[in-house]
Amino acid sequence: MKRQIMLIAGLQFMMACGLAGATNAQQQPEASNMRLVGMNDLQARSAYQPTIHHQGDRWIAYIGHHGGTDEIPSPVNPMTGKAEPNGTSIVDVTDPVHPKYLRHIPGQEGKYEGGGAQMVRVCDGKSLPKADSAAVYMLRTFGSEAHEIWNVADPANPVLITRLGGLKDTHKSWWECDTGIAFLVSGAADWRTRRMTQVYDLGDPAHPVKIRDFGLPGQEPGATGAVPTDLHGPISTGVKGNRVYFGYGTNKGGILQIVDREKLLKGLAAPTPDNLRYPEIARLAMSSWNGAHTTFPMLQMPIAEFAKDKEGGKRDIVMLVDEAILNECAEPRQMVWFADVSIESRPMMISSWTVPEASGSFCQRGGRFGAHSSNESMDPVFYEKMAFIAFFNAGVRALDIRDPYHPREVGYFIPAVTAATDKRCVVVDGKDRCKTAIQTNNVETDARGYIYIVDRANTGLHILELTASARAVAGLP
């Protein structure tokens, strides 16, 4: 008995010292001006994009997942008792204190980025021009091979409506819920890039209409020479704004491409270099050391400092977020950039922001440290006032962006690891050295002011709210 106690004590000591298996796990949440409201473990599936949809009198979170891990390629869904490849989690977050897991829709078999169903967008049938007004449509990727549209009017019992397959990759698409126009990040088989844009009219989700393929000249079929960097994702400002902001690159060679939406939709569809150049208004090329994961437009922002200036008191701003991809700082810092695109032909980078590494010794914590993505909701509760940045092992960071020339942090939240949190490894002297760390991958907000963060390392969904002075920035009581 004494020997057993000694053994247990020894193991506990080893774990405390970080000597057993994965090391340095962060056991307590860290927070400033943000508070945990509720959480769900998402069946310990690696999470990518959350979309929060106000559906009747309910609030539903649709969350995309990466593929499984080497150890658990297909986690068991406790609701069915079956092993299911990671796909889409549907969670009722009407009561954010007690989120209720409704349904898991399996995705493509495969591990990490090689499977799952990472991306999700949701539109009401009543807002789409030619759809069933009683339906609610969820657009999602199916791993790398397809886009799918499901009717989720009953979110616990989704029904597959449409599938657009035959692709070699997919990623973070955009769907305009008023026009039905979708900019689908796809890998068309004959293009020279894994990710380009397929523009579809999904106004009637049951009958998709292809409009055209689009990308950077050099990516099209039959081109020669250097291949411009892959697309990561677009964000459209719709008919009114008439612009689509495309972000290319992940952690290298980023490009912000500003495109005239109408010319894109109505220009000649054949993928010739001239036709691909026709709708482009301007590009902002970033350094080879930074990519453009998210390109989030905030147009006509009033800048207090410029209020008395005869011109330029309102600025068109695009927030660019890079994606860190390597563990333990094995790459240049990936962070947040603000571009002033008021003079569209001369977009200019005006500021940047990163988490100070020394504030948490983040390069030593394990996993990725750096930016990945921002919230993409344009609901007035936070739009053009605050931005929330998923920063991997530094959790989510809340920025006051009312003066985008001088963004400043007003809060943060780093969840505690759980038993489900997966390890992250680097190779040192030929051997894996693993640590367990939070990997906040994506963030979204809802019109009630809740902030939803999801974890790439299987820790699940955390629902947060602002506290203290951070609430004042957004004008929240």
Return residues touching other proteins (CB under 8 A).
110-114, 191-194, 224-227, 252-253, 288-289, 325-326, 330-331, 426-430
Read off the tokens for 452.
């939803």
Task: Indicate the residue among 324 and 339 with the shorter CB distance to other proteins.
Answer: 324
- In the complex, least distance from residue 455 CB atom to other proteins, rounded to whole angstroms: 20
Work out how close the CB of 424 gets to other proteins at its nearest, in angstroms, rounded to a whole number: 13
**Cα separation values, 155 from 95, 101, 117, 269, 451, Å:** 16, 10, 17, 37, 21
Residue 334 CB, shortest distance to other proteins, in Å, is 12
Q: Please identify, using beta-carbon distances, which residue of 51 and 327 lies nearer to other proteins.
A: 327
Q: Which secondary-structure segment (H or E) carries 52?
A: strand 47-55
Minimum CB–partner distance for residue 336 and other proteins (Å): 19
Q: Which residues contact 57 (CB under 8 A, 6 or more apart)?
A: 94
Rounded to whole angstroms, the Cα distance separating 180 from 127 reads 9
Q: Please, what is the minimum distance in Å from the beta carbon of residue 352 to other proteins?
A: 18
CA-to-CA dists, residue 172 to 143, 175, 232, 414, 422, angstroms: 12, 10, 7, 24, 24
Q: Find the shortest distance in angstroms from Cβ 288 to other proteins.
A: 4
CA distance 215 to 191: 9
Q: Which is nearer to other proteins, 150 or 191 (CB)?
A: 191
Nearer to other proteins, 206 or 426 (CB): 426
Between vectors from CA 84 to CA 183 and to CA 90, what angle results, nearest 5°?
Answer: 55
Comparing CB distances to other proteins, the nearer of 71 and 311 is 71
Are 141 and 64 within 8 A, CB to CB? yes
104 versus 368: smaller Cβ distance to other proteins: 368
Strands (E), 310-407: 314-321, 336-340, 348-353, 369-374, 386-392, 396-400
Residue 225 Cβ vs other proteins, minimum distance, rounded to whole Å: 4
Phi and psi for 129 in degrees, rounded to 5?
-70, -35
User: DSSP assignment of 352-377, as one string?
Assistant: EE---GGGTTGGGTSSBEEEEEE---
The least CB distance from residue 14 to other proteins, in Å, is 24
Shortest approach of other proteins to residue 226 CB, angstroms?
4
35 or 192: CB nearest other proteins: 192
CB 68 within 8 A of CB 98: no
Query: How far does Cα 241 stand from its chain's mean position?
Result: 22
Beta bridge partners of 84: none
Which is closer to other proteins, CB of 221 or CB of 302?
Answer: 221
Which of residues 289 and 306 has its CB atom nearest to other proteins in the complex? 289
d(Cα 13, Cα 7) in Å, to the nearest integer?
10
